[in-house]
Amino acid sequence: MILDTEGLKPIYVQISEWLELEILQGSIGIDEKVYSQYQLAEMFNINPATAAKGLNVLADADILYKKRGLGMFVSANARELIQQKRKNQTLKHLLFEVISEAERLGVKDAELGAMLQAVRNEWKEKKS
């Protein structure tokens, strides 16, 4: 992953989202130790305090938990928490943008639904 240091999204948020993706993809499993703030700082060439802030965002959301003196670990329900968060925030925002554009273009619900299904099928084919 390459951090977008020129973008609007803070680096600590990018770090937390990257870790979420690693958990969703199964690269980091339940009760598995995640990277330390110093490992993340070295990996991404950032300040350890910035990396710690990214980790703390996930700890505050109960996606990670701390073991004193050992580091942070993935919570048992981390995947579900991440999925719910992304459905309620990211996916909802993206759908709002799509629906807004469809309204501006006069695309009816049935046509929009058909477009969504076609894109989903195309994505599945590429994924296979």
Q: Write the pLDDT tens digit of every residue in 38-54.
A: 999 999 999 999 999 99
Mean pLDDT of the chain: 95
Half-sphere exposure in the Cβ direction for 4 (13 Å, CA): 8
Q: Is the pLDDT of residue 3 over 90?
A: no
- Tell me which residue has tokens 């639904």: 113
Second CATH level (architecture) for the domain 11-76: Orthogonal Bundle (1.10)
Q: Write the pLDDT tens digit of every residue in 73-125.
A: 999 999 999 999 999 998 999 999 999 999 999 999 999 999 999 999 999 99
Res 80: pLDDT: 97
Whole-structure pTM value = 0.80
Instruction: Please choose, from the candidates 69, 67, 72, the residue with its C-alpha nearest in 3D space to the C-alpha of residue 52.
Output: 72
Domain ranges of the chain: 11-76, 79-127
CB 90 within 8 A of CB 54: no
